[in-house]
Structure formats: structure tokens, C-alpha cells
Amino acid sequence: MRVVVDLNRCQGYAQCCYAAPDSFELRGHEILFYDPAPPDEARPRIERAQQACPVRAISIEPASLDREDAL
Amino acid sequence: MTGDPGIVIVGASLAGLRGAEALREGGYDGPLTLVGDEPYRPYDRPPLSKHVLAGELPPEATALPQQRPLRAHWRLGQPATALDRTRKAIRLGDGSEVPYTKLLIATGARARPWPGEGAHLAGVFTIRGRDDAAALRLALARPPKHVLVIGAGLIGCEAASCCRDLGVPVTLADPNPTPLARVLGTLVGGTIVECLRRADVAYRAGTKVRALMGEGGHVAGAHLHDGGLIETDCVIVALGAVRDTEWLAQGGLRADAGGLTCDAACRALTRAGDPDPDIGAAGDVARWPNPLYGGREMTVEHWGNAVEQAAHAARSLLRPDDPRPYRHLPAFWSSQFGINIKAVGLAEGADAVAIVQGDRAAQRYLAVYGRSGRSIAAVSFDQARWLPSYADRIAEGAAFPPILDATDQGRVEILAPGFPPARPGPAADERMREMAHV
Ligand SMILES: Cc1cc2nc3c(=O)[nH]c(=O)nc-3n(C[C@H](O)[C@H](O)[C@H](O)COP(=O)(O)OP(=O)(O)OC[C@H]3O[C@@H](n4cnc5c(N)ncnc54)[C@H](O)[C@@H]3O)c2cc1C
Ligand code: SF4
């Protein structure tokens, strides 16, 4: 699955790191390092991370995309 | 096939993708085509000069999420080469024609190649696309004996930081006394000099590379203007970006290597100076009069602008009856040497800088730039928490230094920002570079 974080918006609050520690990691004081292509099994945790982010900086590709994106 | 060819987006990267999403979100239900020069679906560039070079992310992991169904035709691996506004069609590299009802131009920029001798030697790299980053990553993994980075802008510093993380010796050469001198001034640039020193990067201030020379087709050294020589087997050229917009100029639009000029609603201007209501532009390629700066024309080559401007230009295409000006406070982030740097506004031309939070010596602070008594920009080093409050003040044009009711605001130190003197050359060219993520 695909993930992108708006790092202008991100405040380094680290809530995402608690929700999905395999995919989000805080480095130094406030650098967020994240996996933009986590495995599909991680989706529930990543969705929790998205919900937990206080500034709504995390965007993810919807699970239904492939089905609905066809021409 | 219906008679309506629909909306065509040229440039399938961040602005192109976000423009497409905004068109669908705005209720556009007709045919949608994305034309892209690169063979890949849209991907994210910021990780390229950071985690991809460091070997932490494979280049293909940077593909961007598509946030909604687009039901689009993707024409990838084909550049648009000509625009015919009378017949409302573009031509692609393979000679085929793509008609459009409306067009969104999001062709971004490409890395400025090494302008001097030696540009084609093996071991000379630029960083703009996935393939560039993949090739440079391979070279860094070998590893080289000594890397030379030419240009201490954001991308040059990020690359130097990655080299040191990999344990590769690196020299960073720039004509200015500190990195980011034109973007943030030499006072704040001094913080990066300190980072470079700690990370063991050899920073060569006041240094201009004249030519690259090779041995057996591979780069071996860099000749300097002052007669010196730097021995290197890997050169990273980080000198900013240019745009291939000749095809637009031939189509009767106001375009040059600095960008495609638009009206305030992000619609492309014709040579005659009126907007073409059927052609919008967004992202690194778009130059528009920003109402936040009294209508001064600018391009903003940062991630956040590509996202916001794409949505704005999409709206202008869908609502020609109600064009609205695109008011944008430029912003960027960068991470290097373990520090998170974030900035808002345009610091260029500031006459003072105030350290409003934190401690400069500890390399953790927030600085606000002032000009003629107004707050115009702010930068934070590992101090992002307060940045949004200052961004609001800056957008309002608040007095300098700005006062927040912040409890942890200590004594405010006011200093000279130390911008280098303006370079000779056309003013437009100056403006173009100042706002680039170079
Ligand atoms: C290495 C790097 C690191 C960066 N890091 C940061 C960062 O940390 N923070 C930040 O704020 N910003 C950063 N940026 C800037 C940010 O990535 C850009 O502002 C953003 O990519 C602009 O998006 P865009 O879609 O306008 O242009 P681009 O991403 O340049 O995309 C334009 C696309 O159009 C294609 N194209 C060009 N000409 C044609 C044609 N004639 N026909 C068809 N297709 C064409 C190109 O191949 C490209 O795929 C970075 C940029 C780079 C290169
Ligand atoms: S929760 Fe949101 S703000 Fe906090 S680190 Fe994660 S992305 Fe950034």
C-alpha cells in the first residue's frame, strides 16, 4: 500500500509511531521517517496512525482503489 | 469514443496527480488523460535526496498514494513536444496527437546540468528523478573515494549529509560563505556550517568550480576558478533546476526556462497577455502573481506549493466563471545532519532576523525574518512546534519582531541576516532561484 506524509504539516507529535511502530519512526528531535510502501497487512495499523495524527498529515491509498479506478 | 476529448494533464508527478484528484473531487466526470515523460506513475521526490541515497528506501517505494479513483488514461514514457491552441491538441514524442478540451500543465522542472566542461564524464550526477537517485545510490554503495558536491542548497546539503551517514568522505563547494546563503542568509546558514563541521564535511566557502576533468572517461577532479584542484571520483551537481518550456512558447504562451507565466488564478497567459481559460498550470513550472506579495510574479519549487496550486488550478479550469486568486505562503522542510529544518515565507531581502524561540548555540531555535518593520519569513531548526503560529503572523504581515503569548519565549535577540549581495544578471533569473528547493 502507498503512504505519504505532508511533512510541512507534521509537527513530530509521534502519535503515528505509537500506532504503527513498524512504519513510522521519529529520529532526533523531530524528523519523521516513514515507510511509504508498507505491506498490505499493515493497513489497520496505518489507518489507526492516520486517525491518531493531530494535524491530519498522513494520506493513504484507499483499499478499494484498484477496483474503482478502472476505466 | 465521445466527441469530448476531456481534460489532459501534462506532467504525471506530484502536481499532475493532485490536480487530477482535485478535478474528480470537484465533480469533473468526463475523460481524463495524464501524459508523463517518465515511465513511472507519480512518485515523491523529497525522499530521493534523503532516504533513497542513504539506502533506506528503494527508489520504487516512493510511488505516491492515489487518494481517489481517477479512471484516467495514462500515457507514460512520452513527452509532450508541441502545443496547438487553435486546434486544441498536443503532440507527443512518438508523433501521436492528443486533443484536449482543457489542459493542465504540470511539467515541473529538471536538474540544471553541469554547465562547464566534463558534464558527460562517468561519475557525474544530478538528483531530480528516480533513475538519477538509483544511479547515484549505486555509486555511493561502491563506495567512492571522495565525493564532491557542487552547490550548497537544500539538495546539495541533504546529499552531503547522506554521504557522511554512509561514511564517505565529502567536500561541499559553494561560492557563498555558508550553505543556503541566498535562501536563509549567512547568519542562519552558520548553523549548517556547524553541522557540516561536526559531520566532518569539508565545506569550501567562496569556491567556484570551473571544469571537471576525467581519466579514461571517469571524473577524476575539479578545477577551481582560483586555480586549485579538488580530487574526486564522484561529483554531485546540485545547482538548481530549469524547465523545458520551448514547446509552450511555440504554442503562443508566455514561457521560458524560468517557468510558464499565469494569471493570479493559475491560468496560462498568452503572448498577448490574456489568460487562456482552458489552460491551467501548477507546481514547479507555474509562475504567477502571488497576491500575498502584492502580485509579485514567482515560482515556488516546493512540495507544498505543488499540492495546493494543483488544487487551485483544477478549480480555475472547472469554474471559469469564478476565477479566484491563488494566495500562497511558500513553505518547505528539509532534513539533514539529524536536524529538521522547516521554513515559511520568503526570507530574501530581509534586513533583520530575530531568534524568537530556543537557542542558536544549541542548534535548536526558531528565527523570524523582518523587512522594514514587518515579519516576512521564519525558519525553525528542530523547533517546529511554534512555526504555524508565526506562519499566521507572517501571512497577516504582522509587525517585526512578532509577539506571541508564548510562555517559553525568552529574550529576543535581533541580528543582521547576512544575505550575500545580489548576483549580476537579469532580475527575473534571480527571483526564480531564490524560491527553489535546490
Ligand atoms: C531531490 C529532491 C528533493 C526535494 N525535497 C524537498 C523537500 O524536502 N521539501 C520540499 O518542500 N520540496 C522538496 N522538493 C521539491 C518538490 O519535490 C517539487 O517541488 C515537486 O516535485 C514539484 O512537483 P511538480 O509536479 O510540479 O513537478 P515535478 O515533480 O518536477 O514533475 C514534473 C513531471 O513532468 C514531467 N515532464 C516534464 N516535461 C514534460 C513534457 N514535456 N511532457 C510530459 N511530461 C513532462 C517530468 O518528467 C516529471 O515527471 C525536492 C525536489 C527534489 C528533486
Ligand atoms: S502523528 Fe502526525 S504530526 Fe505526529 S509525527 Fe506522525 S505524522 Fe507527524
B106 pLDDT band, cuts 50/70/90, is: very high
Q: What is the pLDDT of residue B3?
A: 82
Q: Is A20 in the pocket of ligand 2 (CB under 6 A)?
A: no
Write out pLDDT tens, residues B36-69: 999 999 999 999 999 999 999 999 999 999 999 9
**DSSP-derived 3-state class of residue B192:** helix
> B270 near B191, Cβ under 8 Å?
no
Q: Is A61 on the interface with B (CB under 8 A)?
A: yes
> A44 near A60, Cβ under 8 Å?
no
Distance (Å) from the alpha carbon of B386 to chain A's nearest alpha carbon: 9
Candidates B21, B40, B49, B67: best to mutate against A (most CBs of A within 10 A) is B67
Residue B437: pLDDT over 70: no
B429 pLDDT band, cuts 50/70/90, is: very low
Flag whether the ipTM exceeds 0.95. yes
Give the residue carrying C-alpha cell 555509486. Answer: B139
Q: What is the pLDDT of residue B436?
A: 59
B412 pLDDT band, cuts 50/70/90, is: confident
Among the partner residues B60, B67, B339, nearest to A28 by beta-carbon distance:
B339
Give the chain A residue nearest B56 (alpha carbons): A35
Contacts of B369 (CB under 8 A, 6+ apart): B185, B345, B347, B350, B352, B353, B375, B376, B377, B378, B379, B400, B417
Average pLDDT estimate for B94-109: 98
> B149 near B126, Cβ under 8 Å?
no
Size of interface A-B (CB pairs under 8 A): 78
What dihedral do alpha carbons B152, B155, B157, B161 form, nearest 10°? -160
Residue B422: pLDDT over 90: no
Domains of chain B plus CATH, in order, are: 7-110+242-318 (3.50.50.60), 124-240 (3.50.50.60), 331-435 (3.30.390.30)
Q: Is B14 on the interface with A (CB under 8 A)?
A: no
Distance (Å) from the alpha carbon of A52 to chain B's nearest alpha carbon: 17
What is the pairing mode between strands B97-99 and B89-92?
antiparallel
Write out pLDDT tens, residues B151-175: 999 999 999 999 999 999 999 999 9
Cross-chain residue pair A4–B65, CB shorter than 8 Å: yes
CA of A13 relative to ligand 2 center, distance in Å: 5
Our CA angle for B367, B368, B371, nearest 5°, is: 140
CA dist., res. B15 & res. B131, Å (int): 19
Write out pLDDT tens, residues A6-58: 999 999 989 999 999 999 999 999 999 999 999 999 999 999 999 999 999 99
Write out pLDDT tens, residues B250-296: 999 999 999 999 999 999 999 999 999 999 999 999 999 999 999 99
Q: Is B132 in the pocket of ligand 1 (CB under 6 A)?
A: no
pTM: 0.96
Cross-chain residue pair A28–B340, CB shorter than 8 Å: yes
Q: Is A46 in the pocket of ligand 2 (CB under 6 A)?
A: no
Q: Is B430 in the pocket of ligand 1 (CB under 6 A)?
A: no
CA dist., res. B166 & res. B51, Å (int): 11
What is the pairing mode between strands B275-281 and B102-105?
parallel
Q: Is B33 on the interface with A (CB under 8 A)?
A: no
Amino acid identity for residue B50 in this structure: K
B408 pLDDT band, cuts 50/70/90, is: low
Domains of chain A plus CATH, in order, are: 2-70 (3.30.70.20)
